[in-house]
Amino acid sequence: MANTGLNDTSMVSVHLIDEEKHFARHLDEYVDKCYVGKSNDDNGLNYHIVSVFGSQSTGKSTLLNKLFGTKFDVMDEEKRQQTTKGIWFSHANYIASTENNADETENVGLKKQKANDSNIYVLDVEGVDGRERADDKDFERKSALFALATSEVLIVNIFEHQVGLYQGANMELLKTVMEVNLSLFHQSKQKCLLLFVIRDFTGMTPLSNLGQSLEADMNKIWTDLNKPDECIDSKIDDFFDLKFFSITHKYYKPDEFEHNIMQLGDQFSNDTFFDNNKYHRKIPIDAWALYSEKIWNQIEDNKDLDLPTQQILVSKFKCNEILNNVYDAVFTKEFTEVGNPLENPTDSCVIFNSLRNKCLSAYDSQASRYQNAVYTDIRSNLAEKIDIKLKDFYSKILKNLADSLISAQETKFPDLKKKSKGMAFLDILTSTTDGVIADFQSKALEFQFTEQDTTANIYQDEYEIQLADLKKRLEEFSNILKQKESKSLINKLSRKFQNNFKEYVVEELSQPTNLSWDNIYSKFESLTSKLLKPYLLNASYDFKIGLSENLNESLHLRLMKSFWNKFDNIVHNYVNEETVSRVLRTVFEDKFKYDAKGLPLIWKDFNQIDSQFNNAVETAKKTLPIFSAMKLSNGKLIQKPVYSINDSVSDEDDDDDDADYYGGYESTDISDNEQSYEGKKKNRFASLLTTKQEAKINQRFKKESDAIYLDAKRSMVANRTS
């Protein structure tokens, strides 16, 4: 027999299981090549597996060859030795028929055969011969197991003279079939058709009697069998349908023999024979090779053969194989072909949506034939696998969209603010951020992925995630703008403060009095509260830029801090040796050269000059202590409060670094050391001129006043002598 490999198209059968009990390689290719009617809408279930079982040399192979046009080895009449080793597998070439089905053009006489449109595959199993070797027994049992596990119809080949003899090899055979069947199908209640073919039928005993006799044997064996608990009450026909057929002697009645086989063929062609696929294992043909190999391996390993599990495993294997094929050959291929999908996201979405559907339909068309639960499960795995890729893309588009919307706002906002003068900052900000969200929502609609096939809508989830992220980023964006707004408010109010306050301080200190610091301090208070008044609402502040209560309060403190720093700056910049000397001199001159009404004095005598001079010096000198510290009339120093501001806003613009401010005029005078460091630090704001500076001012004042005094005297002498 030809079994030279699959490339050989003349190969008519496959040595499915050889003498060494090895399973055939490339069985799948053979099965596929023979399958008739392969087309897209074929569900792959249009096939039948038929096997034969019986003692050795009872004409099994002969029968199959005539019935199905197979070419199984038949024993050579002269040598009489066993031929069929292991199990052979073949697609039926035809089905024998009593009808003449010859094509009119065929000139070969009668052609009594039908086309094998229903794809009958035949297993020719090595005969049982009652051999005693343990290994042979084992193989017999394994063969029976395999034949039953894979076949819908098991032909039990038996000589007529063996029927009714409840003994010997024949009995062994039936018992084997029965036991094996029970171990296989007790869980699934899978039924199998046992077709008893009685050979060398003489007609002495009618077929019906022989059938009854066989049924009785079967029942007896069934009763005697040890049954699993689950099927202690089950009957033999829960597992078997029995049919009987007789064939006369091949050599004594050769014509009748041929005719009987044709009649048997008619049965196989009859639509009702397979009883609506009642015996079918529902494994699509493309998985049959895999299925049968798995079964053989389990039998070989002497494991319990659990057919339902095997069927699920096969379905899983095949569905996963289809999934991977579809994913690699369709999805990945076409996905990659798009190039950079982000370049044209709207089009890419359309492409990907239809690619997704295409992949799922491709999967459906191939995988829906497998066990439904498995098929559905793996379908959602495929959808999930695709969705992971597409979701990644979707998330990138949304992220890009959010990026571009936000960065557009970042550049546009300052202009927008300028253009919307008169509109409150907060209103501009709110309408901007609301606009960004609305844009995002409407643009995102262009990029849509909808899954009707899975329960979880991951695209909707992703959209929500990205939207939430956008809102978070907009909040950060708003916070930055609010901070900027806060800073510009600080600058604006501080500038106003500075302009007003500086003018007042300079004026007050150019004519200093004992109440000067009281006046300055109360000016500070009135000015700051005037500036803050528009923002004061029910004892707390709202600067109308959408800040939280806390941030409003810290902005208030920041403003106060800034006012105080300006106060500090203005006074300390003003009070120095130069200015104070000038002030002293002005006070002196006013007092010395003018009378109480402010009119210039005309010197009458030296005494008048002297007394006027002493008076003026006295008055001028009294002003000097006003400049040594900011002291109120109640004797207290003005204290600059310490503000501790706890918010996350950066302090970069705050100008309150004390060291910078006081470094220039901090006392280096040793005599000042009596004050503790803390005390100095505390009073640093109020402290103005140092003792050393005051001494210098005094010296300078003395020089200048003396000069003026001398001038006055000189002018009087000149007046008199002229």
Chain residues binding ligand GDP by CB under 6 A are 56-62, 74-75, 77, 83-84, 127, 199-200, 249-250
Closest distance to ligand GDP from the beta carbon of 165 (Å): 17
Closest distance to ligand GDP from the beta carbon of 137 (Å): 18
* Binding at 250: pick from ligand GDP, Mg ion, none (beta carbon under 5-8 Å per type): ligand GDP
Closest distance to ligand GDP from the beta carbon of 98 (Å): 18
Give the amino acid at 311: Q
Q: Which is nearer to Mg ion, 124 or 485 (CB)?
A: 124
Q: Which is nearer to ligand GDP, 66 or 558 (CB)?
A: 66
Q: Which is nearer to Mg ion, 83 or 97 (CB)?
A: 83
The β-bridge partners of 631 are 637
* Binding at 572: pick from Mg ion, ligand GDP, none (beta carbon under 5-8 Å per type): none
Closest distance to Mg ion from the beta carbon of 124 (Å): 6
The β-bridge partners of 594 are 600
Q: Which is nearer to ligand GDP, 44 or 59 (CB)?
A: 59
Closest distance to ligand GDP from the beta carbon of 59 (Å): 3
- Contacts with Mg ion by CB under 5 A lie at 61, 84
* Binding at 351: pick from Mg ion, ligand GDP, none (beta carbon under 5-8 Å per type): none
* Binding at 667: pick from Mg ion, ligand GDP, none (beta carbon under 5-8 Å per type): none
Q: Which is nearer to ligand GDP, 58 or 119 (CB)?
A: 58
- Got the DSSP string for 57-123? TSSHHHHHHHHH--------TTT------SEEEEE-SEEE-SS----TT--SS---EEE-TT-EEEE
* Binding at 200: pick from Mg ion, ligand GDP, none (beta carbon under 5-8 Å per type): ligand GDP
- Got the DSSP string for 238-304? GTEEEEEEE---TTTSHHHHHHHHHHHHHHHHSTTTTTTTTT-----GGGHHHHHHHHHHHHHTT--
Size of the chain in residues: 722
Give binding residues as ranges. Answer: 54-61
Q: Which is nearer to ligand GDP, 203 or 435 (CB)?
A: 203
- CA 357, CA 450: separation in Å to the nearest integer? 10
Residue with tokens 């171990």: 183
| Nearest residue (beta carbon) to ligand GDP | 59
- CA 582, CA 578: separation in Å to the nearest integer? 6
The β-bridge partners of 54 are 157
Mapped onto helix, strand or coil, the DSSP state of residue 194 is strand
Q: Which is nearer to ligand GDP, 198 or 289 (CB)?
A: 198
The DSSP bridge pattern shows strands 48-54 and 153-159 to be: parallel
Would you say 423 and 469 are in contact if contact means Cβ atoms under 8 Å apart?
A: no
Closest distance to ligand GDP from the beta carbon of 88 (Å): 10
* Binding at 356: pick from Mg ion, ligand GDP, none (beta carbon under 5-8 Å per type): none
Strand order in the sheet with 87-91: 14-17, 87-91, 120-125, 48-54, 153-159, 192-199, 240-246
Closest distance to ligand GDP from the beta carbon of 159 (Å): 8
Give binding residues for GTP as ranges. Answer: 54-61
Name the maximum alpha-carbon separation found in the chain.
188
CA dihedral defined by 38, 39, 40, 44, rounded to 10 degrees?
-30
Choose among 248, 252, 158: nearest CA to 201. Answer: 248
Closest distance to Mg ion from the beta carbon of 251 (Å): 17
Q: Which is nearer to ligand GDP, 244 or 709 (CB)?
A: 244
